[in-house]
Structure 1
Amino acid sequence: MVPAMIPDFSAAQFKTSTHTEDNGTCVEVAVVPGFFALRDTKNRAGGLVRVPARAFRSFLAGLR
């Protein structure tokens, strides 16, 4: 069995949407090759949700 790759987001730049309000109720997104990560703007140290890029793009396409 091959161990799962855990992408490194330690140097990634997280961004919020331009539609974000200043009340802190948003998520931030960062990209590294092959993966996206999401985190809570109010709790940046609380961890990340890492998603393979292909799955995240499918998710976004489903929202449209």
Structure 2
Amino acid sequence: MKILYLLFPFFLLFLQSAAGSSRALGKKECLRRNGFCAFLKCPTLSLIKGKCSRFQLCCKSILG
């Protein structure tokens, strides 16, 4: 019974990481959507559209 207290947080972390991985677009998909990849944050006048990789965001300019 004591092992359930250890397994429950493990399963929560596992499910959380599995849900977040579906948001990753990849660099090619980002470029196809007329976006660009930026490291850690998007520049001014651009919006976050997804993730290119773990530390890169897919950004799209507001101006067009």
Give yes or no for TM over 0.5. Answer: no
Which structure has greater helix proportion?
A: 2
TM-score by structure 2 length?
0.24
Structure ranking higher on relative contact order (CA contacts 8 Å, 6+ apart):
2
Computing the radius of gyration from Cα coordinates, the structure with the larger value is: 2
TM-score by structure 1 length?
0.24
